[in-house]
Amino acid sequence: MVATSATSSAAKNGTAHGIFKPYETNKYFDEMLASDGSIRPHYQRFLEHFGELTTEEFEAKRHAIDMAFLRQGITFNVYGDAQGTERVFPFDLMPRIIPSAEWAYLERGLIQRITALNMFLHDIYHEQHILKDGTIPAHYVLSAKHFRREFVNFEVPKNIYIHICGTDIIRDAKGQYLVLEDNGRCPSGVSYVLENRRALKRTFSDNFESMGVRSVEHYPAELHKLLEYVAPAGVSEPNVVLLTPGAYNSAYFEHTYLARQMGIEIVEGRDLLVRDQRVYMRTTKGLRQVHVIYRRIDDDFLDPTVFRKDSALGVPGLVGAYRAGNVSLANSIGTGVADDKVIYYFVPKMIKYYLGEDPIIPNVPTYLANEEADRKYIVEHINELVVKAANEAGGYGMLMGPQSTAAECDEFRKRVLAEPRNYIAQPVVSLSRHPTYCDNQFGGRHIDLRPFILYGEKPVIIPGGLTRVALRAGSLVVNSSQGGGSKDSWVLDGDK
C-alpha cells in the first residue's frame, strides 16, 4: 500500500489527527480519505491545523458559529411549519476541499454548459433550429411547463437568458463529477457560501491565510457588474433593484444579504409601479425609475396582468415594460424550460449541437419515461432507480427506489404511466462522502456541490460553491428542507 503523500505518519497509518479519527470508506468515494485510509494530499495542510484542536476547542468553535448564525438571523423559513418558521441551516465545520486542477475542470465544464443552455433558450424562443431538425423532439419543449409562448420572438437584453445559474454537481463511487440538475430560474444558496466562509475565517483566524484558499468575496461585486451590464441601452447609471416575494419567503435572508452587499434597494412588488411602460419605485421623495430588476420571484408571479391573475406579489404592467425594453430582468422570463428534468436529458446534445464539443462534465444517466423502451425499463426496475418529477425541486416529488416500500413504488409506477412526460428516472448514484461531525464524532456523510455561475460580459464562477451535506447517516438527500446541512467549499490555489 502506497500512501499518497509523505507528510504525516499518522495519515499513513490511518490514525487519529487530534479529534479526527478515520473511518471505513466502504464502497463510497470519500473526498478526504483514499480507499486505503490515507489522507488525500489536498486535505493534509488543513488537517495539520485542524488536528491541533482539542475536543473542547472544537466544540466551543462549533457552538460559537451556531450562535452567531442564529443571532444574525442566517435562517431559512420552512413552509407549512406554523411554529418555528425560521431555522438555522446546519453548518458543518469541516470544509470540503477541491484542488486547483479539479476546479479548473469543473469551471470549464460549467462554462460550456451555461453557454449551450443560453444558446438553446435563444433558439427555442426564435428560429427553433434544434427542434426543426429533430435533434430534440419538439414536443418535449412544447410540453415543458415553463415554456413561455408569449416570449417567442422577443429580444432579451444582451441576448442573455440565464444570467445566474446554480448547477448541482455530484460525484459517483469512482469520484467522477456528474451534473445532477441545472437551476436557471432563481437559484438560491449563495449567501450561505459567503457566510460559511466568513464563519470559517473567524474560526481559523490564526492560520486561514496560510491554507491557500481562493476567495469568494467578489461574488456580490461580480453580480452587480452583471446586472449593470444588462441594463437597457442608453442608461449610463442604471438603478438596479432586487425584487423579493417578501419577508416570508424561504430565501428572504439571502435577498436582503445580497441587496446589502451590492448596495442596491430590495423591493417588494408593492414598492413598484408601471407608468407608460416604465417601472418606478415609490420613495419618500416621489417616484424613481428602475432599470434592472434582479428578480427572486418566479415567472408566474411577476405580473398579474399576464401570468397568474391571483398573484399579489408582482407588479401589474411589468411584463409590458420588459417587452418595451425599458427594464431588464435577470433571469429572463421563460428560462424554466432549462430546469425541466426532461430537457436536462438533452443538454449533452445541445452542447454538441451548438458548440460542436463533447460535454466536459457528463450528465447522470437518465431514462425518459416518455420513451417507450425507457418507460418499460423504469417500470420494471423502479425499486433500483431514483424517479423524479420533471418540474419539482427541493427533494419533493421524488422516489428513492431502494429505500421505498413496495406500496410507494407502486404509487410512483402509476404516476409514471399516467404522466410519462413528467417523469424521469436515474440509477442511484452513490454520492461521494465527506467527513462530517455528527453525534459527537466524525463520520462519512453524502454531499453535493452547487457552484454559482454568472453569465454576463464573460462568465464568472466563484471558486467552490455551496456544498450541501445529508446529515442523516446513509441519506442521499441533501436539501435543506429534508434535513440537509452545509459546508464551506474551499478551492485551493494549488493542488495540495
Partner 1 sequence: MLSRVANSLYWMSRYVERAENIARLVDVNLQLMLDASKLDDKAIAGYWAPILQSSGDDEFFAKLYPKVTGRNVTEFLVFQGDNSNSIVSSITQARENARTVRDQITSELWEELNRLYLFLNSPKARTMWRQSPFEFFQEIRTSSLLLQGLTDATVVRNEGWYFTQAGRYLERADKTSRLLDVRHASLAAGYTTTQTDALGWSAVLRSCSAWDGYKALHGGQVEPKLVAEYLLLSEDFPRSVRFCVQQLNTALRRISGVAEGRFSNDAERHCGRLLAELMFSTADEILARGLHDYIDELQGKLNVIGEALFQTYILQHFSLQQEDEIRQQEEQQQQ
Partner 2 sequence: MKLHVLHRTHFAYRLPVRDSLNEVRLQPVDTTAQKVESFTLKVAPYAQPKHQLDFYSNHVHRFDVLTPHTALEVEACSIVHTSTPPDPLTGAVVPLASMSRCLDLADCFDFLQPSTYVSIDAGIAQVAAGLTAHCTDTWSAVLALQRFIRDEFHYQPAVTNVHTKMSEALRLRHGVCQDFAHVVIGLCRALKIPARYVSGYLYNGPADQLKGAQASHAWLEVYIPGHDWIGIDPTNHMQTGERHVKIATGRDYADVSPIRGTYRGTGERTLRVDVLVTHLDDVLRQHQSQSQALAHTA
Applying CB under 8 A, the residues found at the interface with partner 1 are 70-73, 246-247, 252-253, 256-257, 259-260, 265-268, 270-271, 273, 281-287, 304-305, 309, 316
Q: C-alpha angle 49/55/56, rounded to 5°?
A: 110
By three-state DSSP, how is residue 279 classified?
strand
Residue linked to cell 447609471: 237
275 three-class SS:
strand
Binding part of the chain for partner 2, among 236-244, 251-259, 316-324, 343-351 by CB under 8 A, reads 316-324
When asked if residue 323 is in the footprint of partner 2 (CB under 8 A), the reply is yes
In whole angstroms, give the CA distance from residue 26 to residue 219: 37
Q: How far is the CB of 319 from partner 1 (least distance, A)?
A: 13
Of 337, 353, 319, the C-alpha closest to 156 is 319
Minimum separation from the CB atom of position 182 to partner 2 (A): 24
Torsion of CA 95, 101, 103, 106, to 10 degrees: -140
139 touches partner 2 by CB under 8 A = yes
Q: Is 150 in the site for partner 2 (CB under 8 A)?
A: yes
150 binds, among partner 2, partner 1, none (CB under 5 to 8 A by kind): partner 2
Question: Which residue lies nearer to partner 2 by CB, 131 or 360?
Answer: 131
User: CB-wise, 239 or 432, nearer to partner 1?
Assistant: 239
Cell 436539501 -> residue: 479
CB nearer to partner 2: give 126 or 218.
126
Among partner 2, partner 1, none, residue 159 binds (CB under 5-8 Å by kind): none
- Contact flags string 3-42 toward partner 2, x per CB under 8 A: ----------------------------------------
Which C-beta is closer to partner 1: that of 266 or that of 449?
A: 266
Cα-Cα end-to-end distance for the chain: 21
Closest to partner 2 by CB, 19 vs 144, is: 144
- Residue 202 sits in the site that holds partner 2 (CB under 8 A): no
User: Which residue, 136 or 170, is less far from partner 2 as judged by CB?
Assistant: 136
Residue 75 CB contacts under 8 Å (≥ 6 apart), including other chains: 69, 86, 87, 88, 89, 253
Which helix (H) or strand (E) segment is 105 a member of? helix 100-124
Cβ within 8 Å of residue 382, ≥6 positions away: 399, 401, 409, 412, 413, 416, 425
CA dihedral 434, 77, 242, 455 (to 10 degrees): 20
CB of 131 to partner 2, least distance (A): 6
- Give how many residues touch partner 2 by CB under 8 A: 22
Among 37, 317, 359, 401, which residue sits at the site for partner 2 (rule: CB under 8 A)? 317
**Which residues, other chains included, contact 198 with Cβ-Cβ below 8 Å and sequence gap of 6+?**
none
Q: What is the torsional sign of CA 317, 322, 324, 325?
A: positive
Q: Which is nearer to partner 2, 129 or 202 (CB)?
A: 129
Query: 222 is written with which cell numbers?
Result: 461580480
Which residue do the cell numbers 443538454 mark?
347
Binding to partner 2 by residue 137, rule CB under 8 A?
Answer: yes
Phi then psi for residue 423, to 5 deg, are -135, 145
**8/261 with CB nearer partner 1:** 261
Interaction partner, residue 276 (partner 1, partner 2, none; CB < 5-8 Å by kind): partner 2
User: Toward partner 2, which CB reaches closer, 49 or 323?
Assistant: 323
Q: Report the alpha-carbon distance of residue 150 to residue 481 in Å, rounded.
A: 33
- Tell the smallest beta-carbon distance from residue 367 to partner 2 (Å): 20
Q: How far apart are CA 416 and CA 425, in angstroms?
A: 10
Write each residue from 264 to 293 as x if it is in contact with partner 2 (CB under 8 A), else as -, in one continuous string.
Answer: -----------xxx----------------
CB of 310 to partner 1, least distance (A): 10
Contact 306, 150 (CB under 8 A): yes
495 forms part of the interface with partner 2 (CB under 8 A): no
How many other CB atoms are there within 10 angstroms of residue 9's CB atom? 9
Q: Which amino acid is at 267?
A: V
**139 is in the binding site of which of partner 1, partner 2, none (Cβ under 5 to 8 A by kind)?**
partner 2
Look at residues 421, 395, 476 and name the one whose alpha carbon lies nearest to residue 137: 421
Least distance from partner 1 to the Cβ atom of residue 370, Å: 35
The entry of partner 2, partner 1, none near residue 137 (CB within 5 to 8 angstroms by kind) is partner 2
| DSSP per-residue letters across 288-315 | EEE-EEEE-S-HHHH-TTTS-TT-SSS-
Least separation in angstroms between residue 188's CB and partner 1 is: 16
Within 204-298, where are the H helices?
Answer: 219-229, 252-262
Cell of 329: 430582468
Residue 143 binding: pick among partner 2, partner 1, none (C-beta 5-8 Å cut-off by kind)? partner 2
Among 149, 174, 285, 458, binds partner 2 (CB under 8 A): 149
Residue 444 forms beta bridges with which residues?
Answer: 435
In angstroms, what is the minimal distance from the CB of 142 to partner 2? Answer: 5
Closer CB to partner 2, residue 133 or residue 237? 133
Question: Which residues contact partner 2 by CB under 8 A?
Answer: 128, 131-132, 137-139, 142-143, 149-150, 152-153, 275-277, 304-305, 316-317, 320, 323-324
